Amino acid sequence: MRHFTPDDIRREHEAAMASLTDAQRCGIGRQRHAHQMTNFNGLSDKQNLELIFEREARERNDALDAEAALAAAAAVLQPLDATEASCANDNAPARAAPRRAEG
């Protein structure tokens, strides 16, 4: 009869963890966090998961809004292209060339 050792269980655990996708790892993390929250707020795991979903959605939307704002600012502040720079120089006041010191 075969007996299991802690190393057998550890290898099985490590293989299972290595096979998880990022989304699955995230789901396990959310579930664990929801369960830990029950110790502090007395809500069920399901209720805490709903709170986590709401918070995460809000954070992701805030990140998208910030990204869109940065993209809009970058579009406004992007450097002039060659045509615009050429036109801008045509309209610029004439400047005298700097004098060189004679030596």
CA 78 to CA 71: how far, in whole Å? Answer: 10
Q: Which residue has the higher pLDDT, 63 or 87?
A: 63
CA 69 to CA 65: how far, in whole Å? Answer: 6
**DSSP one-letter string for 81-99:** -HHHHHHHHHTSPP-PPPP
What's the pLDDT at 82? 55
Angstrom CA distances, 43 to 6, 37, 73, stand at 35, 8, 43
What's the pLDDT at 83? 56
What's the pLDDT at 73? 87
Contact between residue 72 and residue 78 where contact means Cβ atoms under 8 Å apart: no
What's the pLDDT at 95? 58
21-78 pLDDT tens trace: 999 999 999 999 999 999 999 999 999 999 999 999 999 999 999 999 999 888 888 7
What single letter denotes the amino acid at residue 55? R
Q: Which ranges in the chain belong to alpha helices (H)? A: 6-18, 22-41, 45-77, 82-90
94 pLDDT exceeds 60? Answer: no
Q: What value, to the nearest 5°, has the Cα angle with vertex 90 and ends 87 and 94?
A: 150
